[in-house]
Amino acid sequence: MQRKYSLRKPADYQRVRSTGALHQHGLVALYVRRADDGPRVGFTVGRRFGSAVRRNRVRRRLREAVRQFLPELASGWELLFVARSGVEQAGFGAIILAVERCLLKSGVLVRAPNRGTSAANGTDRHISGSEHGC
């Protein structure tokens, strides 16, 4: 993910978490806040997930799931994704689905739900019902 799309300072994370609206799914929580520029995205994975290796793996998977939606995000938003219990064991498809649902609920995703191939990046986002654990 390019640096211009990232929340970088601890103050940015705190501002989004304290003043942003919360949208939750079983695997991730999303705080959204209006901003002048953006979209800018940050990721938080708590120490309860274990060692730094495990936390970084969860963070990488979340970052990749969000990266697939970057071209479809509305500008003028700051987003903070917080990993929740179960995301470490979840399949990547389930993580993509959780991210998509949070983005749709928040109104930041500027397209209709699409379960097939994304025209923006050519990836197949079809998710079977048993994978997402809802």
Contact in structure between 93 and 61 (CB atoms under 8 Å): no
88/131: higher pLDDT: 88
Distance from C-alpha of 5 to C-alpha of 24, rounded to nearest angstrom: 22
Query: Does the structure show a pLDDT above 50 at 64?
Result: yes
Tokens 């209709």 correspond to 112
Q: pLDDT per residue over 9-50, tens digit each?
A: 999 999 999 999 999 998 999 999 999 887 999 999 999 999
Q: Which residues pair with 22 in a beta bridge?
A: 31
Q: Domains (ranges, CATH) in the chain?
A: 3-106 (3.30.230.10)
Output the pLDDT for position 134.
40
Q: Residues 96-131: pLDDT tens digits?
A: 999 999 999 999 998 755 544 443 344 445 444 444
